[in-house]
Chain A
Amino acid sequence: ETGVTQTPRHLVMGMTNKKSLKCEQHLGHNAMYWYKQSAKKPLELMFVYNFKEQTENNSVPSRFSPECPNSSHLFLHLHTLQPEDSALYLCASSQVLAGAHPGTDTQYFGPGTRLTVL
């Protein structure tokens, strides 16, 4: 439907596991985002990358580690997670105009990865 894909779509992991979420955008955008969507809570912005540089980290615990090797790919590395980290993790991308802040433009979302931490 959109040009943003996420893998895997579903992930179940134990608290001692290490896993990674992958996001890829085919829209030629220069900014990418990770969001956490939990039941009965507002969507939470986790990380923002603009031209591969991390521009925002919203006090996310260090057990979440983002990586942006290029403007088309974004990873979220997970280790020693807690059950309360179970949520839908959404990736998004946008085209940021020169001089503007990421997020002022239209964001295109991926389908998300449904993560369950046992």
Chain B
Amino acid sequence: AQTVTQSQPEMSVQEAETVTLSCTYDTSENNYYLFWYKQPPSRQMILVIRQEAYKQQNATENRFSVNFQKAAKSFSLKISDSQLGDTAMYFCAFMNTNAGKSTFGDGTTLTVKP
């Protein structure tokens, strides 16, 4: 069974600074996808970034980037130049390509302070 661990239940960062959210996972599979989703307060969950395990290059979306360490089974999210609108709960998710099953972490609540 796959597990996803987000070891930081809550984090805070000053506006314009950089913050890194950690995520580790456990799997024996070789083909899978990893995701970071963002759920702002009282708003819909949206995809932040997606990484295919077979790709060595780290995914990047504007101010969001990941540090994907496949051997270490680590998938951290870095948010640069944090903005107030980045305040949200962030979920790390793992998708087993072969079994078609999704596993989500417990989430990290990020607060960006002015």
Are A and B part of the same complex?
yes
Q: CB within 8 Å of B: which residues of A?
A: 1-2, 4, 40-45, 48, 55-56, 58, 90, 92, 100-104, 106-112
Q: Tell which of A43, A48, A109 touches B46, judged by Cβ atoms closer than 8 Å.
A: A109
Question: Of A40, A43, A102, A110, which one neighbours B100 at CB under 8 angstroms?
Answer: A102
Output the nearest chain B residue to A110 by Cβ-Cβ distance. Answer: B44
Partner of B47, one of A4, A48, A55, A107: A107
What 16 additional pairs, Cβ within 8 angstroms, besides A43-B104, A107-B47?
A1-B43, A1-B44, A2-B46, A40-B106, A42-B103, A43-B107, A92-B45, A101-B95, A101-B99, A103-B33, A103-B95, A104-B33, A104-B95, A104-B100, A106-B50, A109-B37
A41 to B101, CA, bound (A): 17
How far apart sit A47 and B46, CA to CA, in the bound complex (Å)? 19
In contact, A42 and B4 (Cβ under 8 angstroms): yes
**Which residues from chain B sit less than 8 Å from chain A, CB to CB?**
4, 33, 35, 37, 43-47, 50, 91, 93, 95, 97-107
Assess the B97–A42 pair: CB atoms within 8 A. no
A111 and B45 alpha carbons, distance in the complex (Å):
7
- B104 interface neighbour in A42, A110, A111, A112, Cβ under 8 Å: A42
Q: Which residue of B lies closest to A33 (CB)?
A: B102
Residues of B within 8 A of A56 (CB): 100-101
